Amino acid sequence: MAGATADAALITAARGRPTTEVPVWFMRQAGRSLPEYRALRAGGAMLDACFDTDLVTEITLQPVRRHGVDAAILFSDIVVPLRAAGVAVTIEAGVGPVMADPVRDAAAVARIGELGDTGSIEAAVTALTRQLGSTPLIGFCGAPFTLASYLVEGGPSREHPTTKALMWGQPAVWQELLERVADLCGEFLRRQVLAGASAVQIFDSWAGTLNRADYERFVRPYTERVLAHIADLPVPRIHFGVGTGELLSAMALPQVDVVGVDFRVSLADGIARIGAGHSVQGNLAPAALLAPPAVIRERTAAIIRQGATARGHIMNLGHGVLPHTDAEVITDLVAWIHEEGPAIRAGALSNPAAGDGKVGA
Amino acid sequence: MAGATADAALITAARGRPTTEVPVWFMRQAGRSLPEYRALRAGGAMLDACFDTDLVTEITLQPVRRHGVDAAILFSDIVVPLRAAGVAVTIEAGVGPVMADPVRDAAAVARIGELGDTGSIEAAVTALTRQLGSTPLIGFCGAPFTLASYLVEGGPSREHPTTKALMWGQPAVWQELLERVADLCGEFLRRQVLAGASAVQIFDSWAGTLNRADYERFVRPYTERVLAHIADLPVPRIHFGVGTGELLSAMALPQVDVVGVDFRVSLADGIARIGAGHSVQGNLAPAALLAPPAVIRERTAAIIRQGATARGHIMNLGHGVLPHTDAEVITDLVAWIHEEGPAIRAGALSNPAAGDGKVGA
């Protein structure tokens, strides 16, 4: 597995080996910003689409075909492993994941089953790796804290108060919940890699709502448990969370190759916190794609210059593509990064003062 | 003005002079967590309440009366100065502020008028300072970035994409917009202080969506412009924004006395970033108030210990009280802080290792 992609720039950068290219992909590159996605998905339920081999394959390929990005990311949703474990969850348009029965006590935790059949998704992964050739497919799963917060709150939440009250007030229930969820996530990732994914990204949407001490005590051990499920599989691991400026050093686990940096943090600061042992990914503000082309390029160049000082740098946004983004803007930016990125990076390396992070990026 | 409160613990701590007491108040202490507030507000429109002298006075006093906190904060809403300038804005339940006409070009900016009549609010301030006696009243306004983001987006937003696209893409329009909004905020604060407020808090709800370079270039000059309106008035200034871990050093302006720290940042880290020239405020996680009493007290004690190392520390949450918080929990916590806080702080000062921030707070 993953042999065809071993020399891909994204894999090389993730491993911390030198690349002249600046590999680029976009979180949420598959999805609402693409007219061909909106046409394909019209009317169907999100979670049904995530278990449909043909839809997953086609939606995952769309942005690679259109933009020429350097990686595909499996079209999925963070709650897919919960659905595959028999949890009653739906995704409501304009709301997000909604649980029929929120999980708030030991009995409810005990009812969370093991990961059931995901054969339709594995079939999509296999079809994708065949069609993608030398372009890596990134497998995807949510992190245990984020999934647990959906289970406990019963749906999306800004401050996750019920989740935190459970975490702080009933630590034994919390531990059991997070272990079960971590095993679902880990097994789901493992199946994706065994089916052919060349890399994985663990996405902790809501970890940024915690301070570092809480993250280290109540969350990180379970993300490590996810990683243990794929410890024997030779694929780079990317770890990203939104608003995690305070957590970057704690998220830079030894088992992780790449840490994604949120757009609120200067990439130079992110690199300093993450350290020399990891590559970085990011971190153009998604809103920058709505600004004039000159602004987009100036900010992208500043990020490439800062990224040149990291062990390896994968260009990306610092959060997902916003729904109203013009797809052509992304296509143009990818071409521009492929054309100009190597020279910008080389310039920063020969003149390090240019990459000092003073330019707002 | 403010003579009766000159020796209040909150004012003393804000000035950076030693206090034995640990002054405490809660952001959003007035409002939805109080049954007497819900009874009073039933049926009325939020913005109408903010201009009703008797309602503002009563709602501002309720938490002081019930909890015995060390400060009142003027009951207001961030968009009050916009309404007072003739902007068509309403607050929709479950949504937030909604603008009839979003502001996205120079012509719309030019239509924003000067601050009109706020006599009913000034009358409330005067009545409050008389009734509060030696308890300080904190005046309140939103910061220019936050108000501008509501004007540009037309309502609440997670990522403020239109605001940022305007900021980056049309800097001259942005400057004119922010200057006008800053003058509204500054004049509104000035009137509150002249009517009797003993301190002010500038609340930048959404600044945390920017990285530091953008904050310093596109936002901070206008917050400084707000502060210039009250430069001659001898009241402490508190500056707080949500999710501003990356911005704390930039928010610690020389014209500011106290920087509020978001709950995602350890207070020890916040103090390090803010420096010795400012006092700090915060930063218990609002969700902690939903946890068992022992957890609340342990986390509060850890924050008081960390706060002991600052120039001055005002105990507070690291964001506003959550709507479903049990009011009795707040009352009990205030009593506990008044009773135990001085000894906890003294212990931390005689044994600094205890205040190292290692306890998750």
Name the residue in chain B with its Cα closest to that of A264: B211
CA–CA min distance B206, chain A (Å) = 12
**Contact check, Cβ <8 Å, B164/A291:** yes
d(CA B204, CA B146): 6
Q: At residue A222, does pLDDT exceed 60?
A: yes
- Residues whose CB falls within 8 Å of the CB of residue B59, separated by 6 or more in sequence, listed in order: B30, B31, B37, B40, B41, B49, B75
CA distances from B77 to A78, B85, B151, B190 (A): 36, 14, 14, 16
| Identity at B118, one-letter amino acid code | T
* Mean local confidence (pLDDT), B205-217: 97
- Structural domain including B308 reads 3-355
**B115 found inside a domain:** yes
Q: Based on the residue annotation, tell me whether B41 is a catalytic residue of this protein.
A: yes
Query: Which among B132, B98, B135, B73 is positioned nearest to B321, based on CA atoms?
Result: B73
Whether the predicted pLDDT of A1 surpasses 50: no
The answer to whether A239 and A259 are in contact (CB under 8 A) is: yes
Mean model confidence pLDDT for chain A:
95
Provide the shortest C-alpha distance from residue B310 to chain A (in Å). 19
B135-159: average pLDDT? 96
Q: List CB contacts (< 8 A) between A285 and chain B.
A: 164, 211
* Per-residue model confidence (pLDDT) at position A93: 86
Predicted confidence (pLDDT) at residue B87 exceeds the cutoff of 60: yes
- Using 50, 70 and 90 to split pLDDT, how confident is the model at B361? very low
Please state the rounded mean pLDDT for residues B199-223: 97
End-to-end Cα spacing for chain A: 37
For an interface test with B, which of A211, A303, A358 has the most B Cβ atoms less than 10 Å from its Cβ?
Answer: A211
Give me the catalytic one of B37, B150, B215, B222. B150
CB contact under 8 A, A161 and B361: no
A349 part of a folded domain: yes
What would the pLDDT profile of A127-171 be if each residue is shown by its tens digit?
A: 999 999 999 999 999 999 999 999 999 999 988 999 999 999 999
For residue A11, pLDDT beyond 60: yes
Partners of residue B264 in chain A, C-beta under 8 Å: 208-211, 243, 246
Determine the Cα–Cα distance for residues B355 and B334; give it in Å rounded to an integer: 21
Element (H, E) at A280: strand A279-284
Which of B309, B322, B236 is closest to B267 using CA atoms? B309
Asked whether the CA dihedral B242, A181, A82, A155 is positive or negative, the reply is negative
Residue A55 resides in a domain: yes
Burial class (CB in 10 A: 0-12, 13-18, 19+), A3: exposed
Among candidates A165, A265, A299 on the partner chain, residue whose Cβ is nearest the Cβ of B246: A265
DSSP H helical segments within chain A, as ranges? 9-15, 35-41, 46-50, 53-67, 80-84, 106-110, 119-132, 144-153, 161-169, 171-194, 212-214, 220-228, 248-251, 267-274, 293-307, 327-350
pLDDT digit string, tens, across residues A61-103: 999 999 999 999 999 999 999 999 999 999 998 889 999 999 9
* Residue B96 and residue B155 in contact, taking contact as beta carbons nearer than 8 Å: yes
Residue B360 maps to a domain: no
- Per-residue pLDDT tens digits for B286-301: 999 999 999 999 999 9
Strand B89-92 to B96-99 pairing: antiparallel
- For residue A32, the chain B residues in CB contact (below 8 A) are none
The interface predicted TM-score of the complex, written ipTM, equals 0.93
Alpha carbon dihedral B317, B319, B321, B325, in 10-degree steps, equals: -80
Q: How far is A75 from chain B (nearest CA, A)?
A: 23
Identify residue B168 by its one-letter amino acid code. W
C-alpha gyration radius of chain B: 19
* Set B32, B212, B225, B297: catalytic member: B32
Which residue out of A153, A160, A168, A269 would a mutagenesis test of the B interface target, given it has the greatest number of B Cβ atoms within 10 Å? A168
State residue B1's pLDDT score.
Answer: 45
CA-wise closest residue to A146 among A97, A85, A89: A97
Q: Find chain B residues with C-beta within 8 A of A217's C-beta.
A: 360
Chain A closest-CA separation from residue B230 CA (Å): 30
Closest by CA to A218, choosing from A232, A200, A204, is A204
In a domain, A360, yes or no: no
| Model pLDDT, residue A42 | 84
CB of B112 closer than 8 Å to CB of B180: yes
- DSSP annotation of B247 reads T
Kindly report the backbone phi and psi dihedral angles of residue B129, in degrees, each rounded to the nearest multiple of 5, phi listed first. Answer: -65, -35
Q: Looking up tokens 């804005």, which residue turns up?
A: B89
Share of chain A above pLDDT 70, in %: 97
Mean pLDDT of chain B: 95
DSSP B21: S
Q: Which residues of A touch B269 (CB under 8 A)?
A: 212, 246
How many angstroms separate the CA atoms of B108 and A231, rounded? Answer: 57
Query: For the residues of B190-238, what is the DSSP string, one character each?
Result: HHHHHTT-SEEEEEETTGGGS-HHHIIIIIHHHHHHHHHTTTTS---EE
Measured between CB atoms, which of B208, B287, B324 is closest to A160? B287
Q: What's residue A3's pLDDT?
A: 77
Contacts of A162 in chain B (CB under 8 A): 290
> Does A263 sit within 8 Å of B246, measured CB to CB?
no
| Rounded mean pLDDT, A244-252 | 98
- Cβ partners under 8 Å of residue A62, min gap 6: A30, A34, A36, A37
- Name every residue whose Cβ is closer than 8 Å to that of residue B171 and which is 6 or more positions away in sequence: B218
Chain B residues inside the 8 Å CB shell of A299: 168
B32 counts as catalytic: yes
CA distances from A308 to A7, A24, A42, A269, A318 (A): 19, 14, 41, 13, 17
φ, ψ for residue A241 (rounded to 5)?
Answer: -145, 150
Residues of A with CB under 8 A from a CB of B: 159-165, 168-169, 208-214, 217, 243, 245-246, 263-266, 269, 285-288, 290-292, 295, 299, 319, 322, 324, 357-361
- Chain B: residue whose CA lies nearest to A208: B264
| Helix pair A119-132, A171-194: axis angle to 10 deg | 40
Cα of B11 to nearest chain A Cα, Å? 28
Angstrom distances, CA of residue A220 to CA of A3, A353, B278: 31, 35, 33
Tell me which residues of chain B have a C-beta less than 8 Å from any C-beta of chain A: 159-165, 168-169, 208-214, 217, 243, 245-246, 263-266, 269, 285-288, 290-292, 295, 299, 319, 322, 324, 357-361
Can you give the CATH number for the domain in which A259 is found?
Answer: 3.20.20.210
pLDDT in tens, B233-268: 999 999 999 999 999 999 999 999 999 999 999 999
Give B326-358 pLDDT, tens digit per residue.
Answer: 999 999 999 999 999 999 999 998 876 654 444
| Number of domains chain A contains | 1
Residue B361 is assigned to a structural domain of this protein: no
> Is B108's pLDDT higher than 90?
yes
Backbone phi and psi for residue B203, each to the nearest 5 degrees, phi listed first: -115, 115
Q: How many angstroms separate the CA atoms of A144 and A245, rounded?
A: 19
| Calpha distance A253→A221 (Å, rounded) | 10
Q: Which of B41, B212, B264, B297 is catalytic?
A: B41
Cβ <8 Å between A168 and B295: yes
8 A C-beta contact, residue A270 and residue A280: yes
What's residue B3's pLDDT? 77
Contact A213, B358 (CB under 8 A): yes
Looking at the predicted structure, is the pLDDT value of residue A307 above 90?
A: yes
In whole angstroms, give the CA distance from residue B341 to residue B337: 5
Q: Nearest 5°: phi and psi at B204?
A: -105, 80
Tell whether A294 is covered by a domain: yes
Q: What gap in Å lies between CA B361 and CA B359, rounded to an integer?
A: 6
- pLDDT value of position B353: 61
B305 is catalytic: no
What proportion of chain A, given as a percentage, has pLDDT over 90?
93
Nearest to A310 by CA among A354, A334, A277: A277
d(CA A270, CA A282): 10
